[in-house]
């Protein structure tokens, strides 16, 4: 490591000291990468995941970075579960400065709307969108009491543009983008900034599984790469870097933004 790199790492390490952050679905994939990036910057982290085992895995890595961390089982789509986790976070750390609403996904469904089962529509909206209503509703009063905070939502490029065979996911993520803007309008004057990130495809274990279990993995990878100008899929750490910027004071003048972290896929027409 050069002297300049060491200096930059030290500065990054100080960005979130004294803050506490709750990351939903922080046990794997992008949530895990975001949690570890925030922990490396000094934040104490709460990993709320439906899988206790996965949550514990992230906690172990965060603790190795020298911060306090704990895992808690949570289903983001269940109000009681969300309320309990927020209470536990405040009881343990005395504050909740950063809320990262990362939970979401497609539940493996691809198909046209007329074939989409009603339960899958409901579940997709519950986990991707209603979850953010719930976590925000029960966190914001605490943030207001403490004088402010930051909310970061993980949307998708599917929330900016239509994608075939993913109507429920597109609708839910479009809702996340709009909820982000609406919350920014409602609370920025009270020192709560609200932003979202719109990733394209990142090489999480889940995405790698989809690629490897498809009949033609190379064709599937190439399909995901279509339109990504930089020519490769994101490393989850790329999303973590953007998340760290948006939750730290380095972005103090940024609120209500839907930031594509997508290798350029959303900036042009498909060719
Ligand atoms: N991976 C990508 O390429 C990509 C691209 C665009 C957007 N996103 C979005 O990023 C977010 C994270 O995606 P990922 O691919 O890292 O996820 P993932 O499929 O790797 O899952 C991450 C975690 O979510 C947990 N989880 C599932 N349901 C839950 C629930 N109801 N409550 C709490 N935890 C739950 C799982 O236990 C798992 O640990 C999602 O909102 C997704 O839509 C991901």
pLDDT tens digits along 95-119: 999 999 999 999 988 899 999 999 9
**CA 17 remoteness from chain centre:** 20
The answer to the question of residue 112 being in a domain is yes
Q: Residue 218 contacts by C-beta under 8 Å, 6 or more apart in sequence?
A: none
Mutate to test the pocket of ligand 1, among 24, 28, 30, 161 (most ligand atoms within 8 A of CB): 30
Q: What is the pLDDT of residue 144?
A: 98
What value does the mean pLDDT of the chain take? 96
Catalytic residue status for 133: no
Verify whether ligand 1 is closer than 6 Å to residue 54 (CB atom): yes
Nearest CA to ligand 1 atom 17: 29
Give me the pLDDT at residue 270, please: 73
Ligand 1 neighbourhood includes 148 CB (under 6 angstroms): no
* Counted domains in the chain: 1
Whether residue 256 contacts residue 195, with contact meaning beta carbons closer than 8 Å, is answered with: yes
pLDDT for residue 254? 98
Q: Is residue 186 part of a domain?
A: yes
Per-residue pLDDT at 2 exceeds 90: no
Q: Which of 103, 130, 198, 224 should be mutated for ligand 1, with most atoms under 8 A from CB?
A: 103
Q: What is the CATH number of the domain that holds 104?
A: 3.40.50.720
Q: Domain for residue 4, yes or no?
A: no
Confidence of residue 202 (pLDDT cuts 50, 70, 90): very high
Centroid of ligand 1 to alpha carbon of 199 (angstroms): 12
- Residue 66: strand, helix, or coil: coil
Q: Is 79 inside any structural domain?
A: yes
Q: Distance between CA atoms of 169 and 43, rounded to whole angstroms?
A: 31
Structure confidence by residue, pLDDT tens digits, 129-150: 999 999 999 999 999 999 999 9
Q: How far is the CA of 157 from the centre of ligand 1 (A)?
A: 15
Ligand 1 pocket member 199 (CB < 6 A): yes
107 in a domain, yes or no? yes
pLDDT of residue 271: 58
Q: Within a domain: residue 33?
A: yes
Domain that holds residue 168: 18-199+234-253
The answer as to whether 114 is a domain residue is yes
Q: What is the DSSP letter of 228?
A: -
Alpha carbon of residue 139 to chain centroid: 16
CA–CA distance, 262 with 157 (Å, rounded to integer): 7
With cut-offs at 50, 70 and 90, classify the pLDDT of residue 27. Answer: very high
Q: Of the listed 109, 133, 138, 169, which one is catalytic?
A: 169
CA of 25 to the centre of ligand 1 (A): 6
- Ligand 1 pocket member 31 (CB < 6 A): yes
> Does residue 267 form part of some domain?
no
- What are the residues whose beta carbons fall under 8 Å from the beta carbon of 13, sequence distance 6 or more? 40, 41, 42
């Amino acid at each position: 490591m050069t002297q300049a790199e060491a200096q930059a790492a030290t500065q990054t390490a100080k960005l979130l000291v004294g803050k506490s952050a709750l990351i939903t679905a922080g046990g794997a994939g992008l949530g895990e990468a975001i949690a570890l990036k925030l922990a490396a910057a000094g934040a104490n982290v709460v990993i709320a995941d439906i899988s206790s085992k996965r949550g514990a895995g992230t906690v172990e890595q965060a603790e190795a970075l020298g911060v306090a961390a704990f895992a808690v089982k949570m289903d983001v789509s269940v109000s009681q579960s969300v309320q309990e986790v927020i209470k536990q976070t405040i009881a343990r750390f005395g504050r909740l400065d950063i809320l990262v609403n990362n939970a979401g996904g497609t539940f493996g469904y691809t198909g046209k709307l007329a074939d989409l089962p009603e339960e899958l529509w409901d579940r997709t909206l519950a986990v991707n969108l209603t979850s953010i209503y719930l976590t925000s509703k029960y966190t914001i009063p605490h943030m207001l009491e403490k004088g402010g905070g930051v909310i970061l939502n993980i949307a998708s490029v599917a929330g900016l543009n239509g994608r075939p065979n993913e109507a429920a996911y597109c609708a839910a993520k479009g809702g996340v983008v709009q909820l982000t803007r609406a919350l920014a309008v409602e609370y920025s004057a009270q020192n709560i900034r609200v932003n979202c990130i719109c990733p394209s495809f990142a090489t999480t274990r889940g995405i790698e599984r989809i690629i490897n279990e498809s009949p033609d993995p190379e064709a599937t990878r190439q399909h995901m790469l279509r339109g990504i100008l930089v020519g490769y899929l994101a490393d989850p750490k790329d999303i973590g870097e953007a998340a760290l910027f948006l939750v730290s004071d380095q972005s103090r003048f940024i609120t209500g933004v839907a930031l594509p972290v997508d290798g350029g896929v959303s900036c042009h027409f498909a060719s």
